[in-house]
Structure 1
Amino acid sequence: MCCQSSGQWKFPAQQPRKSLASRRRHTGFRPSTQLLILIAVLLALLQGRTVDAGAGDSLSGVRQSCSNEGEEVQLKNQPQIFTCFKCECQNGFVNCRDTCPPVNDCYILDKSNGTCCRRCKGCSFRGMSYESGSEWNDPEDPCKTYKCVATVVTETIQKCYSQCDNNQLQPPRPGECCPTCQGCKINGQTVAEGHEVDASIDDRCLVCQCRGTQLTCSKKTCPVLPCPMSKQIKRPDECCPRCPQNHSFLPVPGKCLFNKSVYPEKTQFMPDRCTNCTCLNGTSVCQRPTCPILECAPEFQEPDGCCPRCAVAEVRSECSLDGIVYQNNETWDMGPCRSCRCNGGTIRCAQMRCPAVKCRANEELKQPPGECCQRCVETAGTCTVFGDPHFRTFDGKFFSFQGSCKYLLASDCMGKTFHIRLTNEGRGTRRASWAKTVTLSLRNLKVNLGQRMRVKVNGTRVTLPYFVVAGGQNVTIERLANGGAVMLRSEMGLTLEWNGAGFLQVSVPAKFKKRLCGLCGNFNGSSRDDLTGKDGRSHGDDEVWHFANSWKVGGPKSCSRKREFLAATPTCDKRKSNFYCHPLSVPALFGECNERLNPENYKAACRMDVCECPSGDCHCDSFAAYAHECRRLGVQLPDWRSATNCPAGWRRNATLSSFKGNQFYGDPSFSRMKGRRQKNHQLRLQLQQEQQQRSKQGQKGRHKPGGHNQLDRQGHNGLDKDQLQKEFILKHVPSSFLYPRAPDRTPPPLH
């Protein structure tokens, strides 16, 4: 088959349509007709994000495909609503995410903010406007703090706390209330720069922060919330309650909306016996005292008005925990996130606070060993080879190349730590080819992964599992639990998965970024330049042949075909490809993954593979590649192999009967048309042979007496009228008119 690349890999006419209905409140914005599809895409992707599209509008459209994996997709010349979204190409789809600030735990939403984002209604205080969540100090008294939460300003006096010795205590910084401790340590635990820690798990409002290698600890009161007490929730590991519900209220100029009541200007009210509030310019300004910091455990505390106090308790010089005795002021760790101290017989523990983290498309959230908080780490690069070779590079570029020689698949072109070679074979076909063997060279180690999952190490066949040390690094080779593939893992993070029949997946850690070369690309985060040849020249999508051939290694003996027919384009029966590739469009089989990974790339690959398939089950390669990538993305699929009769392992010689009658395949009527064409061809050959024989007999008859009269009586060449009619039809009328069939179709280019 001709080598082809996916410039965009999208087939709009064949994409399944998705109905996305959304009833929205009227805001005056109605999208034009050409924007309906894009709006529908955004609505489908944002899962709960509200986009107003007019009252009762019902939108439908298709998800847009894309080719430049990981790159941002610009939305140009669009209404203001689209400025709140950032779109990028991910897994073959244009995925958009909301860039608006979160409005969780906001009881009063602002509907008149003039932007496309929903916002929590802010506060007006002393002639200044503040967004909800803002916190500031009084310029004349830095210990007096204010916080705005949904039209309510809470005024409080923060209380300071210090655990360090006096010789390490530093005076407050200019404009700040509390002194600082030199060195960011609490209970013997080091606090990372810019991070916060709960100084006591018994009092989550006592918070310490590390800034400039200095630790500052203080306690503030919880802000007053505008929602009813019955609607508030409080999590065990948090200091303050929240208002979990969002509401939009009609604005009441000059009045304050608090709880379920409306208060006129300058009206005073008490939400509870410890809080005094006044309505000023539409904002409820409330004063609430901060409770003192207690050194005793909760079981030794008792109520005292608005705040608890420590009851009289025995002060001891040691603490006991799980049979271990700790002396007063002794500290110890309870894991990477918690450390404790013995304080007068009471155990006080500090808990690290982990900041909220949102990873990018090429990152995943992981828990590093020995660290408290999860963080985003770059995902490994993955290159996949499958079928009549289709390639997905480390950066997500798809292309097809059917050369039958040996090629450099991937190599550390900078560090020279490894290189992988791929050998293709034609298997008796003119245009198609499949991966035959994979060879990994890793320092002093050479591993050959062959057909039927045979493995050779440095030229000697080995049994699995196999362990070896290469260049001081451990390498393991084993069969996977399901027995369908061989997995090679190296200590440097390089892995190879090979099923012994043409499917290969190579994974490399992020440390190899911008260091690789070969058919799998350079792993630089952009798919645009993945078709870069060995000479450094970048090739277009129509130059895959030149790109791939530049990475050819080995001599002529490494090729299974003496002559390549790469310029030839295969002619496929559309109904045949529709029959074999239909399971990829069945929701019961792969539908769970269709929202995460664009299946069009694999459908196009399947349509190519059935054109020239020596085994009869080449379509199964595309199914397996798609399912494998779905599992890597965390999608659980049903037992598609049993459902489609595509068993794992070494390919077998399958026939149409192996799949005909299966409910998940398409219309098998193409096989009847094929049978008619074969029968017609056999009839033509038979009549041609009979014609040649009669022609010879006729030539002999001309030399016999009366031969000329015999020809006149029987017709030309001794044929009767019916035979003459059959011969004329077969000679002059194309067989396509005799037995109508679907026109030959060249599969569309993979772009």
Structure 2
Amino acid sequence: MWICCTSSSGQQEQNEQQQQQQPPVTTAHNTQCHGQKQRHRKNGSQRHIFGPIFTIVVFVIIALIQMESVAAGLNEGLSGDMESCVNEGEEVQIEGIQNSKCFKCTCQNGFVKCDKSCPSIDDCYLLDSKSSDTCCRKCKGCMYRGVPYASGAEWSDPEEPCKTYKCIASVVTETTQKCYSQCDDNQLTAPRPGECCPTCQGCKINGQTVAEGQEVVASIDDRCLVCQCSGNELSCAKKTCPILQCPKTKQKQLPNECCPRCTEQREFVPVKGKCIFNNKVYYDKMQFTPDRCTNCTCSNGTSICQRATCPILDCAPEYQEEAGCCPRCVVLEVRSECSHQGITYMNNETWNMGACRSCRCIGGNIRCSEMRCQPVKCRPNEELKVPPGECCPKCLETAGTCTVFGDPHFKTFDGKFFSFQGSCKYLLASDCYGHNFSIRLTNDGRGTRRSSWPKTVTLKLHGLRINLGQKLRVKINGTRVMLPYKNHSSSSSHNGHGHNVSIERLAEGGIMLTTELGLTIEWDGNTFLQVSVPAQYKRHMCGLCGNYNGSGRDDLTGRDGRLHSDDKVGHFANSWKVGGPKSCSRQRENVVAQPICNKRIYNFYCRPLRVSEVFGNCDSRLNPNNYIASCRMDVCECPTGSCHCDSFAAYAHECRRLGVQLPDWRAATNCTMGSWRRNVTESTFIGNSLYGDASFLMRANGSTGNRGTVKEQRRKQKLKQQQHQLHLQQQHLQQQQLQLQRPLQNELQENEYSKKHVPNKFLRPRAPDRTPPPIH
């Protein structure tokens, strides 16, 4: 909502003409109008009658247009439910939405996330009117000497290189920069044509090297004094902060920045030939002074302002005093040494204070410079980190992570989800190019027909064999070791690497294996496994965890190089089988058919994954659908009674890796750590409101709602299997007896026929020891 208010008037007679020329301004809804209303002299003049009426009509029209612009601006983003996706990291084409070309959408953590690739307008007070054919909101630009400039543009006068101009939201600030140099005269290079300041050979300041293209604040006491490295030459200059559109009350000054910023935004419909400045409108050629140090002139809709650049001071802020528009140094005795943190430094001596800051002693005053880091936006598969020994953070590619959990469900290095319940030994992940390591996974059927769970994980690394087993048992080359374990052998082996392996217990349970290659394995001793490899192994991997090439579409590539479809996961996984038949816990595999159970059962056990508060509202960052599907499969054939907790743990682990602060979800869901150590019954979860209505379980199992302990259930299941096997054996014996009786019965029938229809003289018995005559 926009309203009109009259302009403030502080004078009556001297500014009367200016008040008549200056129309009212348009401000936001919460803006208050201060000052007195215009006083009209009763002289009967039509100019005094129709002038204000015309102005009010004009600005009412402007206000209505602005209301439409604001209403349209509310709908310029995307709203609605987040769409799910499966191909992690890939760009997604969105159809059926307005201005779809304005958004770039990618698949991140199972969700389609869309962003506008537009320049920031956070600190712009004056926005251009929204155009229907543009994607981005723009800060109002400038017109200077007939040339249009975008907001943020900076340029200099070719004839006077030290005179610089900067456009910010229809205001051009004109200033003369002051040069600064601290290198010796023999290293100083005179400014080239078109340049203002001399340069120093070698990009160093206070003994610290400045990278090519990097900026550094020459003095942390004067952050407007900035140096930049270009072509191995360092150029330093001080500029004046640009004049801002917003009033002082709407400005903020960050502690590590030179200039203030506007904290609000306004959208104004331009008035032809007039300038808008600080919620006031000025006619063309009109001059005004925003403060005592700035002079401005309205020129073709742009405010041209001049402000002098304050001198560069060698004294610290505590030795400065205000003198007009700029501070000055109080006269002090020049000393030949400085003292900092109990250490004395001589004049011109330099020292470092970390990777970002270095200092110099100048005339008894300490002047410190600081590297200026530019804001960086990383891609979804990157993370912002500060490399060792460097100052500024960089976008570094994250390590590839493969996760195995539950009745094994796999999330590959490239984010592909699939499930495979084979009960044999498989190649999980391997460096198929450098052959530096390989990881094998052995699954155990645990007495089930179709399901299986991780049993052991084996890492082969430079002649070292590490076996991670159930209940956190660890063996090194066949010998069990106690944790924590560290082997920092310096003896070189393949590719010049030693062992350098450490295995430690984690505070939240489980163990972490770390190697010198950057390979890590996290294992909870039961059903959860996570393998991470550094980005240097990208496109070098193979196995069930995929090839780690940035695309999940080809992760189901078998050992023979063939790509399998999602309905042929069994063929893909079996191609990576190793170890022979003895490594399988089931003689015959039947993992093609999916387990089927009562829908209400898996909806009951998996319901907490749909409750956002249980996992710290992580569902706004990570799509839980894959974990819900995994949970449904696990509860259908569960030998422990708490199989659904495996999917909960995997989801919580991934949420924690994304930086989500998790509540105590284990206590909330009764999924205690190490639940595999004890028997779990249905009564553990019945009565918990997060699981919902359990009346169907109560009806199915009596008033107790308890189907007995898991041990009893397994005993009953085993008894049924034995009865089934006994029945099969009986059938087999019956078939064998029939096969033995059939030839004898045929022979008896044949003898009876012969006695009845064949004469006795033809039925002479042959001696049993008679041998056939020789063949001639």
What does the per-residue CA deviation read over 1:464-520, in whole Å, with 9 as the maximum and x for residues that have no partner? 1111236424211122123x2122111221111111112111111112111111000
Task: Give the counterpart of 1:475 among 480, 491, 501.
Answer: 501
Deviates more, 1:194-203 or 1:233-242: 233-242
- Aligned residue number for residue 119 of structure 2: 101
Asked if 1:506 is matched to 2:525, the reply is no
Identity %: 69
Give the Å deviation of 1:579: 1.3
Question: What do you get for the CA RMSD once the two structures are aligned?
Answer: 2.0
Task: Give the counterpart of 1:72 among 91, 97, 109.
Answer: 91
CA contact (8 A) 2:286 2:297 kept: yes
Asked if 1:298 is matched to 2:317, the reply is yes
Give the Å deviation of 1:28: 10
Asked if 1:319 is matched to 2:338, the reply is yes
CA contact (8 A) 1:500 1:650 kept: no
Task: Tell me, in whole angstroms, the C-alpha distance in 2 between the residues paired with 1:282 and 1:262.
Answer: 10
Give the Å deviation of 1:154: 0.8
Q: SS of the counterpart of 2:650?
A: helix
Query: What are the within-5 Å matches in structure 2 for residues 141-540 of structure 1?
Result: 141-469=160-488, 471-482=497-508, 484-540=509-565
Q: SS of the counterpart of 1:153?
A: strand
What does the per-residue CA deviation read over 1:212-270, in whole Å, with 9 as the maximum and x for residues that have no partner? 11101111111111222232222232211222211112322211111132111100111
Task: Tell me, in whole angstroms, the C-alpha distance in 1 between the residues paired with 2:79 and 2:215.
Answer: 46
CA contact (8 A) 1:617 1:653 kept: no
Task: Tell me, in whole angstroms, the C-alpha distance in 1 between the residues paired with 2:555 and 2:638.
Answer: 28
Asked if 1:598 is matched to 2:623, the reply is yes
> Cα–Cα, structure 1 residues 25 and 634, in superposed 2: closer, same or farther, change >3 Å?
farther
Q: Which residue identity lines up with residue 446 of structure 2 in the other structure?
A: R
Give the Å deviation of 1:666: 3.2
CA contact (8 A) 1:452 1:650 kept: no
Q: SS of the counterpart of 1:428?
A: coil
> Cα–Cα, structure 1 residues 296 and 266, in superposed 2: closer, same or farther, change >3 Å?
same
Give the Å deviation of 1:674: 4.3
> Cα–Cα, structure 1 residues 61 and 262, in superposed 2: closer, same or farther, change >3 Å?
closer
CA contact (8 A) 1:578 1:667 kept: no
Deviates more, 1:117-126 or 1:251-260: 251-260
> Cα–Cα, structure 1 residues 50 and 532, in superposed 2: closer, same or farther, change >3 Å?
farther
CA contact (8 A) 2:461 2:499 kept: no
CA contact (8 A) 1:197 1:353 kept: yes
Task: Tell me, in whole angstroms, the C-alpha distance in 2 between the residues paired with 1:663 and 1:310.
Answer: 71
Q: Choose 1 or 2 for highest CA Rg.
A: 2
Task: Tell me, in whole angstroms, the C-alpha distance in 2 between the residues paired with 1:469 and 1:322.
Answer: 38
What does the per-residue CA deviation read over 1:566-612, in whole Å, with 9 as the maximum and x for residues that have no partner? 23232211111111111211233135111111111011111111111
- Aligned residue number for residue 663 of structure 1: 689
Task: Tell me, in whole angstroms, the C-alpha distance in 2 between the residues paired with 1:321 and 1:468.
Answer: 43
Q: Which has the higher contact order (CA 8 A, sep 6+)?
A: 1
Task: Tell me, in whole angstroms, the C-alpha distance in 2 between the residues paired with 1:630 and 1:298.
Answer: 47
CA contact (8 A) 1:198 1:207 kept: yes
CA contact (8 A) 1:533 1:547 kept: yes
Q: Which residue identity lines up with residue 102 of structure 2 in the other structure?
A: C
CA contact (8 A) 1:25 1:52 kept: no
Task: Tell me, in whole angstroms, the C-alpha distance in 2 between the residues paired with 1:643 and 1:256.
Answer: 61
CA contact (8 A) 1:485 1:649 kept: no
Asked if 1:84 is matched to 2:117, the reply is no
- Aligned residue number for residue 638 of structure 1: 663
Q: Which residue identity lines up with residue 649 of structure 1 in the other structure?
A: G
Query: What are the within-5 Å matches in structure 2 for residues 1-80 of structure 1?
Result: 26-27=68-69, 51-52=75-76, 61-76=80-95, 78-80=97-99
- Aligned residue number for residue 734 of structure 1: none
Q: Give the aligned length.
A: 629
TM-score by length of 1: 0.81
TM-score by length of 2: 0.78
Give the Å deviation of 1:60: 7.2
Q: SS of the counterpart of 1:119?
A: coil
CA contact (8 A) 2:142 2:167 kept: yes
Give the Å deviation of 1:26: 4.2
Q: SS of the counterpart of 1:172?
A: coil
Runs (5+) with no aligned partner, structure 2: 1-65, 490-496, 708-776
Runs (5+) with no aligned partner, structure 1: 1-23, 31-48, 54-58, 679-751
> Cα–Cα, structure 1 residues 568 and 308, in superposed 2: closer, same or farther, change >3 Å?
closer
Task: Give the counterpart of 1:545 among 570, 580, 584.
Answer: 570
Task: Give the counterpart of 2:601 among 573, 576, 590.
Answer: 576
Q: SS of the counterpart of 1:192?
A: coil
Task: Give the counterpart of 2:679 among 653, 657, 670.
Answer: 653
CA contact (8 A) 2:616 2:663 kept: no
Deviates more, 1:633-642 or 1:385-394: 633-642
Q: SS of the counterpart of 1:388?
A: coil
Q: SS of the counterpart of 2:487?
A: strand
Give the Å deviation of 1:274: 2.0
- Aligned residue number for residue 35 of structure 1: none
What does the per-residue CA deviation read over 1:371-418, in whole Å, with 9 as the maximum and x for residues that have no partner? 211221111111111111100011110000011100000011111111
